[in-house]
Amino acid sequence: MTKFTDLNLNPKVLKAIEEAGYENPTPIQSGAIPAALEGRDVLGIAQTGTGKTASFTLPMITRLARGRARARMPRSLVLCPTRELAAQVAENFDTYAKHVKLTKALLIGGVSFKEQDAAIDRGVDVLIATPGRLLDHFERGKLLLTGIEIMVVDEADRMLDMGFIPDIERIFSLTPFTRQTLFFSATMAPEIERITNTFLSGPERVEIARQASTSETIEQAVVMFKASRKDREATEKRRVLRELIDQEGEGIKNAIIFCNRKTDVDMVAKSLKKYGYDAAPIHGDLDQSQRTRTLDGFREGALKFLIASDVAARGLDVPSVSHVINFDVPGHAEDYVHRIGRTGRAGRDGKAITICTPRDEKALDAVEGLVQKQITRLENPVKPAARKAAAPAEDSTDTAKPKPTRRSRSKPAAQKPDTSTSPAEANPVVEVEQPQQAPVQAVQEKPARSQDRPQQDVGTGSKPNKSRSSRGRRDDRRDEKVVGMGDHMPSFIALSFDERRAG
């Protein structure tokens, strides 16, 4: 078996590796380090958790140990898609270069320009940056890239997925053509292949395991979830998540829970904290200091559940993550590989559980097609009876008992006997001709206006010279039960204008 001592590394680097507790390199390290030490371009393809970071940091430190940096002209450049990954790469350099006199600078967003400018002015051997912040410094005239000897693009596929192609092309144009280029990625799409053919010159291709494969140490499962009602989907889905956590019990030491949207990250974290779970969110909209505190707490074991967007799917090196839970099926199948790659690292056992709704089934099919295996189906931990019992009481009330209508609220006028008029006068028969239906249609076209008004005395507002018999006949008609303006139209509306004048 190959050992680090067989890879021709700097003795001081070997000493740091030994102090870190490593003895044997991983397959990607065994294949990439010798070619990188020879100064060749390298295209490394390997699944997450296989040690890609050390595959370029160790040979870089060995080569940079000879030489000296100049002000504002870094000797090497490492590009990372996210702040978290850039910070992790910087930590690796601190670990492996502690016996070598090399300087580094970390250029990421959310940190003061002043401190970063001061580090660049002193001269750095290793510059670790995200594309946006690197170009910001360059445009301000604080940085020159003409002295770059080694350039690394880490998680290259993610860089391109996030829309960094124009930035990457510009950065490459600012570096010398004689540079050494190292590309490391977990997947290799055709578009990535085209880009590497442009940027790399006769690279040494080191491919470990099948593309987009998942580690065999990760147990994968999926829960097929369907909400009882569409407007309850989010609430019931969060309950399924809590039941899954409780079902794992003591087996879940800590977990990263991935959501597709930042709003869901905040909502899930808030929900878990409400029910007593130790959880905190992390996504791109949070302040950098808050993101750093949250990650440090999760690494140190002070935080049990990390609710994350895909900004944390790449590069998070927390060896002891026991579970990864996909609250949403990722929209891109490749992201599934990177998400679950946060568990089962360095040969450890891990478990990945995904919650899939009916609209996510196509995305799940794409994931299974990519990993070339069917993911085990789990039974929904929330039983149908429990879901019904958990339904909000007000929802069931609203469904069973509809709100009362105006008909049920309006009380009919009391029927009083009238001895002063004959039965015929009390209930007159009015013959309505066909042309006289126009007022009825006009009233029916605007029912809301009539219903909104309180029922008034029809006689109120009549002309003062009306006869007593006319008022008596109208009072008799008002005694009839009037409940609406539809099929129960009062008869006085159907009277013609001539009949009303005659009255």
Check residues 362 and 434 and name the one with the higher pLDDT: 362
Average pLDDT, integer, range 114-137: 93
Rounded to whole angstroms, the Cα distance separating 216 from 35 reads: 28
Structure confidence at residue 292 (pLDDT) = 85
pLDDT tens for residues 455-465? 444 444 444 44
Per-residue pLDDT, averaged over 135-154, amounts to: 94
Q: What is residue 209's predicted lDDT score, i.e. its pLDDT?
A: 67
The pLDDT of residue 423 is: 42
- Kindly indicate the confidence band of residue 16, based on its pLDDT and cuts at 50, 70 and 90: very high
76 beta partners: 126, 150
- The pLDDT, as a whole number, for residue 463 is 46
Please return the burial class of 187, using the count of CB atoms within 10 Å of its CB with bins 0-12, 13-18 and 19+: buried
The architecture (CATH level 2) of 4-207 comes to 3-Layer(aba) Sandwich (3.40)
DSSP designation for 379: -
Helices and strands (H, E) in the chain, number of each type = 22, 14
The answer to which of 104-108, 188-192, 349-353, 487-491 has the lowest mean pLDDT is: 487-491
Q: Is 1 helix (H, G, I), strand (E, B) or coil?
A: coil
Mean pLDDT of 447-469: 45
For the cut 90, the answer to whether the pLDDT of residue 351 exceeds it is yes
- pLDDT tens readout for residues 260-271: 998 999 999 999
Three-state SS for 279? strand
pTM over 0.75: no
Range from 139-153, 278-292, 440-454 that averages highest in pLDDT: 139-153
**What would the CATH number be for the domain defined by 218-388?**
3.40.50.300
Summarised one tens digit per residue, pLDDT across range 353-390 is 999 999 999 999 999 998 889 999 999 988 765 555 55
Domain boundaries, the chain: 4-207, 218-388, 417-502
Q: Do domains 4-207 and 218-388 have the same CATH topology?
A: yes
> How would residue 111 be classed by pLDDT, with cut points 50, 70 and 90?
confident
**Would you say 239 and 58 are in contact if contact means Cβ atoms under 8 Å apart?**
no
pLDDT in tens, 148-193: 999 999 988 778 777 887 898 899 999 999 999 999 887 777 778 8
Confidence of residue 433 (pLDDT cuts 50, 70, 90): very low
The residue among 167, 165, 330 whose CA lies nearest residue 258 is: 330
User: Is residue 428's pLDDT more than 70?
Assistant: no
Q: Tell me the pairing of strands 218-224 and 76-79.
A: unpaired
- DSSP state string for 405-458: -HHHHSPPPP----SSS-HHHHS------GGGGHHHHHHHH-HHHHHHSPP--T
Quick one: average pLDDT of 423-430?
A: 44
Q: Quick check: helix, strand or coil at residue 482?
A: coil
Q: Where are the alpha helices (DSSP H) in 175-318?
A: 190-199, 233-248, 262-274, 288-300
Mean pLDDT within 109-123: 90
Cα 135 from chain centroid?
A: 28
- Rg of the chain's alpha carbons, rounded to an integer? 37
Mean pLDDT on 333-362: 88
HSE-up of residue 44 (Cα within 13 Å, Cβ side): 32
Q: 296-323 pLDDT, tens per residue?
A: 899 889 999 999 988 665 666 777 899 9
In this prediction, residues 290-301 reach a mean pLDDT of 89
Mean pLDDT of 234-242: 95
Least confident of 69-83, 371-385, 442-456: 442-456
Residue 475 has pLDDT above 70, yes or no: no
Is the pLDDT at 139 greater than 90? The verdict is: yes
Residue 313, pLDDT score: 58
pLDDT of residue 158: 78
